C-alpha cells in the first residue's frame, strides 16, 4: 500500500499501524526523543514522527540529514504539540535514500533568487510545494470549467508556419545546418528544410482554434506557447502556457462575459479546493490574499473604453516612466494604475487603436479602433488579451495588405471567411499570470517548474 501523508492525517487515529514514505524536512532530538518532520508533497505541513530510543536504529535516525528519504511504520496518535492534530509514534523506520549535509536545502528560508538556481530541488520546499500543487489543481479546473460549459478541447499544433501575433517572436524550427544554410541569390532557401518552408514554435493557438470554432461553435486550447521576446521582466517567459477559448456567433461583449465568468470560477475554485495552500500564501507570501481573491470572485468587472482610459491617465497626477498618449500601447505601470487606483478591481479595457493590435481583430466603424479587450487585474496588469475577430473577408484582406502580411501563407485562414464566415471572438489567458495572481507570487519564474527566459534554459 502506498499511502499519502495527507490521506493518513485526514483519516485520523486508527488502532492498526500505518506506513508511508517521504523526505525529511527536519530532525530534532529533545528530552531523549527524536522528532522528524516528514513531507511527501501531498500537503504543506507533512507529519511529525516521534522516535523512541528503544527503536533499534535510533542513533542512526537521530543523525539523519535533511532531505533523506524514509519509509516509516507506526501508530497515529493525538499530538500534544500545538498546530497539529496527529503525530506518528514510530515502530519502524527504513532509510531509503540518504542525504548528507551537502544537501542545499538545510536552512529554513532561502531567497527565491537562490532557489531558482536549484530549480531541480526547489519543489521540495514549502513555498514551491504550495505553488505546484495550486498550479496542478488550476490546470484541472480549467478543463473542468470548459467541460461544464460544453466547449470542445482542441490540441492546436506546436510547430507552425504562421506568426499569429505578427510580432516576429517565433523561435525557428529547422534541421538545416546553420553554418551551411542553403541560399538562393543570398536569400535563405527553406524549400530544402525539413518542412520545405519556414517554421517555428507557436506563439498562439488562436488561428487554428478559430477554424475549430467555425465547426464546433465553442472550443478551447490549452498548451505550451513560445515567444522569443527579449524582455526580461517578472511577467514574461519565453515558454509559457496559454488557455485560448474561441466562440462562434459571439461578439466582444460575449467574450468579456466568458472571461469574467472563467476568472471568477478559478478564484472560487482556488479558495475552495486549495484552501490549505491558499492559507499558506496568505500567511507567507501576501497578507490579505484570501480577502483579495474573495473580492474578485464576487466583483463586477469594470469595462472601460481605451479612449477613456487614456483620458483618465492623462488627467491623473501620477508620474509615469512611459508616455501616455492616444495611439500608444498601455505599459504595465499604466495598466496597474487603472486597475489599482482608478477602478480598484479587475477592468476590461476595450476598443484599442488598430495600429497597436494584431491583424485579425475586427475593425470598428470609427475607422481607427478594433474590437479588442485586455483584462487588467491589480498586481499583475494584463492577464487576458482577446478580441472579436474580423469575419469580413474584404476588410481582413485589406488590413493584411496594410500590415504587409503575406496572404498566401494564410490562405487557409482566409478560406474560413470565404464559406460560412460568422462573427466570432476569443481570448488568451496566460496560465502563469493566473497562478501568480492567485498565489501572490511576484515573479513568473517562480510559478513555472523550469522557467525559460532570455539566456536561461537550464534543467
Ligand atoms: O495578448 P496576447 O499576446 O494574445 C494572444 O496571443 C491572442 N492570440 C489570444 C487570443 O485572443 N486567443 O497573449 C495572451 C495572454 C496575455 O494576456 C498574457 O496573460 C499571456 O498570454 N502572455 C504571456 N505570459 C507569459 N509570458 C509571456 N511572454 C506572455 N505573453 C503573453
Ligand atoms: Mg496582449
**CB 20 within 8 Å of CB 72:** yes
Q: Is 205 in the pocket of ligand 1 (CB under 6 A)?
A: no
The pLDDT assigned to 96 comes to: 97
Sign of the CA dihedral 197, 199, 204, 209? positive
255 ligand 1 Cβ < 6 A: no
**CA 294, CA 50: separation in Å to the nearest integer?**
39
Predicted pLDDT at 180: 86
Question: What parts of the chain have a pLDDT lower than 50?
Answer: none
Start-to-end Cα distance in the chain: 32
State how far Cα 117 lies from the chain centre: 20
Q: Give the integer Cα–Cα distance in Å for 99 and 457.
A: 27
Q: Whose CA is nearest to atom 24 of ligand 1?
A: 430
What pLDDT, on the 0 to 100 scale, is given for residue 408?
83
Which residue out of 211, 242, 262 has the highest number of ligand 1 atoms within 8 Å of its CB and is therefore the one to mutate? 242
> Is CATH 3.40.1180.10 the right assignment for the domain spanning 123-446?
no
Determine if ligand 1 sits within 6 Å of the CB of residue 68.
no
What's the whole-model pTM score?
0.96
Q: Going by DSSP bridges, is the β-strand pair 69-78/33-39 parallel, antiparallel, or unpaired?
A: unpaired
- Cα(398) to ligand 1 centroid in Å equals 25
pLDDT score at 341: 96
Domains in the chain: boundaries = 5-97, 123-446
d(CA 445, CA 451): 5
**CB neighbours of 328 closer than 8 A, spacing ≥ 6?**
322, 356
How far is ligand 2, taken at its centre, from the CA of residue 142, in Å?
20
Q: How far is the CA of 161 from the centre of ligand 1 (A)?
A: 19
Q: Which grid coordinates are listed for 459?
A: 534543467
> What DSSP element (H or E) covers 426?
strand 424-430
Listed residue (213, 211, 293, 205) closest to 258, CA to CA: 213
Say what the pLDDT of residue 178 is.
83
- 289-330 tens-digit pLDDT: 999 999 999 999 999 999 999 999 999 999 999 999 999 999
What pLDDT, in 10s, does the model give residues 28-56?
A: 999 999 999 999 999 999 999 999 999 99
381 CB near ligand 1 (under 6 Å)? no
pLDDT for position 418: 97
- The class level of CATH for 5-97 reads mainly beta
Strand partners, 279: none
Distance CA 370, CA 383 (A): 19
Residue 30: the pLDDT is: 93
Amino acid at each position: 500500500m502506498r499511502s499519502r501523508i495527507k490521506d493518513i492525517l485526514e483519516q485520523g487515529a486508527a488502532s492498526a499501524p500505518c506506513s508511508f514514505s517521504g523526505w525529511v524536512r527536519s530532525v530534532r532530538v529533545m528530552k531523549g526523543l527524536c522528532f522528524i518532520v516528514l513531507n511527501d508533497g501531498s500537503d504543506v505541513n507533512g507529519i511529525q514522527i516521534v522516535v523512541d530510543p528503544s527503536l533499534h536504529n535510533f542513533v542512526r535516525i537521530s543523525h539523519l540529514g535533511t532531505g533523506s528519504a524514509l519509509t516509516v511504520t507506526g501508530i497515529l496518535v493525538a499530538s500534544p504539540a500545538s498546530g497539529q492534530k496527529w503525530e506518528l509514534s514510530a515502530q519502524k523506520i527504513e532509510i531509503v535514500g540518504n542525504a548528507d549535509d551537502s544537501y542545499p536545502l538545510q536552512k529554513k528560508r532561502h531567497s527565491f533568487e537562490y532557489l531558482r538556481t536549484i530549480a531541480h530541488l526547489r519543489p521540495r520546499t514549502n513555498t514551491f510545494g504550495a505553488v505546484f500543487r495550486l498550479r496542478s489543481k488550476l490546470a484541472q479546473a480549467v478543463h473542468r470549467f470548459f467541460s461544464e460549459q460544453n466547449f470542445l478541447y482542441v490540441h492546436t499544433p506546436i510547430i507552425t508556419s504562421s506568426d499569429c501575433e505578427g510580432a516576429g517572436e517565433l523561435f525557428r524550427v529547422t534541421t538545416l545546418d546553420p553554418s551551411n544554410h542553403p541560399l538562393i541569390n543570398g536569400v535563405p532557401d527553406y524549400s530544402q528544410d525539413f518542412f520545405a518552408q519556414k517554421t517555428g514554435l507557436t506563439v498562439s493557438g488562436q488561428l487554428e482554434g478559430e477554424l475549430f470554432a467555425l465547426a464546433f461553435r465553442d472550443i478551447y486550447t490549452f498548451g505550451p506557447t513560445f515567444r522569443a521576446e527579449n524582455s526580461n521582466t517578472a511577467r514574461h517567459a519565453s515558454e509559457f502556457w496559454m488557455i485560448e477559448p474561441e466562440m462562434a456567433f459571439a461578439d466582444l461583449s460575449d467574450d468579456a462575459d466568458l472571461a469574467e465568468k472563467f476568472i471568477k470560477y478559478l478564484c472560487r475554485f482556488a479558495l475552495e479546493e486549495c484552501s490549505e495552500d491558499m492559507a499558506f500564501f496568505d500567511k507567507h507570501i501576501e497578507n490579505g490574499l484570501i480577502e483579495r481573491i474573495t473580492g474578485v470572485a464576487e466583483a463586477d468587472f469594470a469595462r472601460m473604453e481605451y479612449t477613456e482610459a487614456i483620458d483618465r491617465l492623462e488627467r491623473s497626477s501620477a508620474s509615469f516612466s512611459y508616455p501616455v498618449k492616444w495611439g500608444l500601447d498601455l505599459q504595465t505601470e499604466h495598466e496597474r494604475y487603472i486597475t489599482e487606483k482608478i477602478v480598484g478591481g479587475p477592468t476590461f479595457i476595450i476598443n484599442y487603436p488598430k495600429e497597436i493590435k494584431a491583424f485579425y481583430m475586427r475593425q470598428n466603424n470609427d475607422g481607427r479602433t478594433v474590437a479588442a479587450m485586455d483584462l487588467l487585474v491589480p498586481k499583475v496588469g494584463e492577464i487576458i488579451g482577446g478580441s472579436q475577430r474580423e469575419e469580413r473577408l474584404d476588410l481582413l484582406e485589406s488590413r493584411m495588405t496594410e500590415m504587409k502580411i503575406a496572404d498566401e501563407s494564410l490562405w487557409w485562414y482566409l478560406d474560413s471567411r470565404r464559406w460560412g464566415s460568422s462573427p466570432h471572438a476569443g481570448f488568451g489567458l496566460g496560465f502563469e499570470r493566473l497562478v501568480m495572481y492567485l498565489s501572490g507570487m511576484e515573479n513568473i519564474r517562480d510559478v513555472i517548474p523550469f522557467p525559460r527566459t532570455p539566456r536561461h534554459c537550464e534543467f
